[in-house]
Amino acid sequence: MKFVAVLYPGPAEQHVDHSGLELLGSTEGALGLAKLLESEGHELVVLSDRDRALRDHLADAHVFITTPFWPTYLTADDLRRAERLELVLTAGVGSDHVDAEAAAELGITVAEVTGSNVVSVAEHAVMQLLALVRNYLPAYQQVVDGRWDIADIAARSHDIEDKTIGIVGMGQIGQRIALRLRGFDVKVLYNTRHRRGSTDEAVFGARFKHLDDLVAQSDAIVLSCPLTAETKGLFDERRLRAMRPGSWLVNIARGQIVDTDALVEVLESGHLGGYAGDVWYPQPAPPDHPWRTMPGHALTPHVSGTTLEAQQRYAAGIQDSVRRYLDGDPLQEDYVVARPT
C-alpha cells in the first residue's frame, strides 16, 4: 500500500523540547507513521511540496494524508485522477480543503481527527481575545520600537469584564471557549446550528441568540464554526458593518468565513476595533498584501491548533485510522467526514 503524507517542513535541526514531546506534525515527525508502516512493508512518502505530492504521488496513492495547517487542496479533478485512492485523512479538524462530496461519489472515505486540537484552539481564542481587548500587540510593538507612549495604548485598552462575547459555532471548540471565559465575568451569547439543551447552557454560561441579534449585541465575536457552503462569507460586508462600533472579531475557524476585502475596509475605517485569526490569502502573505500592513490587529494564524500536545493527539488519531484501514476495521465513527455513496 502507498501512503502519502503532506506536512509542513520540519526544522533544520532536530528539535528536542524540554517536555519530551516530539514535533510529530511536521515532515520530520511524520505523525509517527514511519515505524508503523515501514515495518509492515508499506510505502510511506512524506513531503512538504504540495504541487509535487499532487503531480507525482496522488495517482497511485491508496491513502493521502494532509493537514489544515499546511493544506493540500484536493479538488474533484484531483480525486478523479487518483485511481487507487481509498482514504483521505486530515491530521487535525476541518476537512474543507477536500471536495468531500466528490470523494464520496468516487468511493473515497474522508476522515479527520475529531477533538484532537480543541483545547489548543480554545486557549488560543481566549489569548487572541485578550490581546485585542487589552491592545496588547501595539503595546508590545511600541516597546520593540523603543517608544513608551502610555496614552497611545491606554486610549484603546479595555477590561474584558462585563463585556458581551458572542460565540458562533458552539461545538467542541466553542464550548471550551465559553467554559474558559467563565472566569472573566463576561456575558456569553452563542449561535449554532442546533440549540444546546438548558443544562449545557447553564454549564457553559451561554445564552442562545439568532445570529443577527448576537452580532448586534456583542462587544467581541469569536468564530468557531466549520467552513461550509453556508458559512463561506457569513461575515460579509453587511454583517461586519452590523457589528458594534469598536468591537473585536476573533476567527479561529477558517479565513473564508469572513470576506477579506470587507474586513480590511471595516478595520481601516475604524469601525472594528481589531481582528485576530485566520485570513484567506495565499500563505505566506505576499509582502504587499494589505493585510500585512493593517494596524491594530493580531495576525497570528499559525499556532492555534498545533501545540505539541495537540500534535500528539492528532498523530495518535491518524495512527489509529491507519491501523484500522490496514486491518479492514471501520474507522472511528465520529472521525468520518464523508463515506462512499
Ligand X SMILES: NC(=O)C1=CN([C@@H]2O[C@H](COP(=O)(O)OP(=O)(O)OC[C@H]3O[C@@H](n4cnc5c(N)ncnc54)[C@H](O)[C@@H]3O)[C@@H](O)[C@H]2O)C=CC1
Residue 335: closest CA among 182, 218, 172: 172
169 binds ligand X (CB under 6 A): yes
> Which residue number has the CB closest to ligand X?
171
Per the residue annotation, which of 117, 128, 135, 191 is the catalytic one?
A: 117
User: Among residues 253 and 322, whose Cβ is nearest to ligand X?
Assistant: 253
Establish how many alpha carbons lie within 13 A of residue 227's alpha carbon, considering only the half-sphere containing its beta carbon: 23
| Beta strand residue intervals within the chain, DSSP E | 2-6, 43-47, 63-66, 87-90, 109-111, 164-168, 187-191, 206-208, 220-223, 247-251, 272-277, 336-338
Phi and psi at 165, nearest 5°, equal -115, 125
Q: Which of 108, 110, 121, 160 binds ligand X (CB under 6 A)?
A: 121
Q: Which of 26, 109, 117, 164 binds ligand X (CB under 6 A)?
A: 117
Q: Which of 131, 188, 222, 225 binds ligand X (CB under 6 A)?
A: 225
- 116-150 b/e (C-beta count within 10 Å ≥ 16 → b): bbbbbbbbbbbbbbebbbebbbbbeeeeeeeeeee
226 binds ligand X (CB under 6 A): yes
Site string for ligand X, 228-247 (x = CB under 6 A): x-xx----------------
The question of whether 251 is a catalytic residue gets the answer no
Q: Which of 135, 218, 224, 311 binds ligand X (CB under 6 A)?
A: 224
Q: Return the range that interacts with ligand X (CB under 6 A); candidates 11-19, 144-152, 164-172, 326-334.
A: 164-172
Query: Residue 219 CB, nearest distance to ligand X (Å)?
Result: 19
The question of whether 302 is a catalytic residue gets the answer yes
257 binds ligand X (CB under 6 A): no
Residues between 304 and 323 with contacts to ligand X, criterion CB under 6 A? 304-305
Per the residue annotation, which of 57, 97, 254, 313 is the catalytic one?
A: 254
Helix axes 136-144, 118-133, angle to 10 degrees: 70
124: left (phi over 0), alpha (psi -120 to 50) or beta: alpha
The question of whether 62 is a catalytic residue gets the answer no
State the amino acid at position 272 in one-letter form: L
Question: Catalytic residue numbers?
Answer: 117, 254, 283, 302
